[in-house]
Amino acid sequence: MPASDPARTPPPFHAVIFVSQRTPGDNGYGDESARMVAMVREQPGFIGMESVRGADGKGITVAFFDSEDAIREWGRVAEHRQAQASGRANWYENYQLYYSRVERVRSWEKRSE
Amino acid sequence: MPASDPARTPPPFHAVIFVSQRTPGDNGYGDESARMVAMVREQPGFIGMESVRGADGKGITVAFFDSEDAIREWGRVAEHRQAQASGRANWYENYQLYYSRVERVRSWEKRSE
């Protein structure tokens, strides 16, 4: 299932906001993170995601899904659970998760003159 | 009104997810952005915020508020409206806003051994 553009998806839908602080060093994070992104894109109900990490290792990822069921199912995927455990053991100092319902979307783009 | 910790705030509350792509150069962004952060912290109903910008100029800011009214009031503040206009004129290539209701929060922190 190809991901679509969350900013063009009519609400309501769901957003999982993941705020995290990485530990220093890679420790296999890059490869595993890429594998999880590829997997979640195939997850039924996945809409799209936005992700940014700063130079200080703080990151925010927002993953958009069309239902709470889709979020629950993704939470049950064995490889994902394994990655979460590795995250706590190796990759994160701390993280916060905000499970949210998107009620309104606005987007803006500079027009080329 | 001092900001509190969104991860320790009992849901439901509200999150405004702001995903943006900066234009190259500062053009007064740093000063104005700091001024807006200081102002929103004084806004009644503001809970806290998380913000990250990557080396490529892409950023995600999540601002948490205790009600939709608080978000609306912040949207009416004259200095904020002026900053938004400057944002479109000078600082952003594009942005997306997701107005969301936080329904569940989880947080984790590595214990010091």
The runs of H, that is alpha helices, within chain A are 29-41, 68-76, 78-86
Residue A70 vs residues A47, A63, A112, B26: alpha-carbon distances, Å: 10, 11, 38, 40
Res A111: pLDDT: 87
- A92·B106 Cβ contact <8 A: no
For B17-75, how does the pLDDT look when each residue is reduced to its tens digit (9 = 90+)? 999 999 999 999 999 999 999 999 999 999 999 999 999 999 999 999 999 999 999 99
Ramachandran category for residue B45: left, alpha or beta (phi over 0 → left; psi -120 to 50 → alpha): left
**SS3 label, residue B28:** coil
Cβ–Cβ gap A52/B53 under 8 Å: yes
Beta pairing partners, B49: B63
pTM value is: 0.95
More confident residue, A70 or B112: A70
Q: Which residues of B touch A95 (CB under 8 A)?
A: 107-108
What is the rounded distance in angstroms from the CA atom of residue A55 to the CA atom of residue B40? 25
CA A80 to the chain's CA centroid: 12
Q: Is the pLDDT of residue B2 over 70?
A: no
Q: Confidence class of residue B3 from pLDDT cuts 50, 70 and 90?
A: low
Helix or strand (DSSP H, E) at B29? helix B29-41
Judge whether residue A61 has pLDDT over 50.
yes
B88 touches chain A (CB under 8 A): yes
- CA torsion through residues B60, B64, B65, B69, sign: positive
Q: Does the pLDDT value for residue A2 go beyond 90?
A: no
- Residues from chain B that touch A103, judged by Cβ atoms under 8 A, are 99-101
The continuous run of DSSP H or E covering A104 comes out as strand A92-109
A-proximal residues of B, 20-49, CB under 8 Å: none
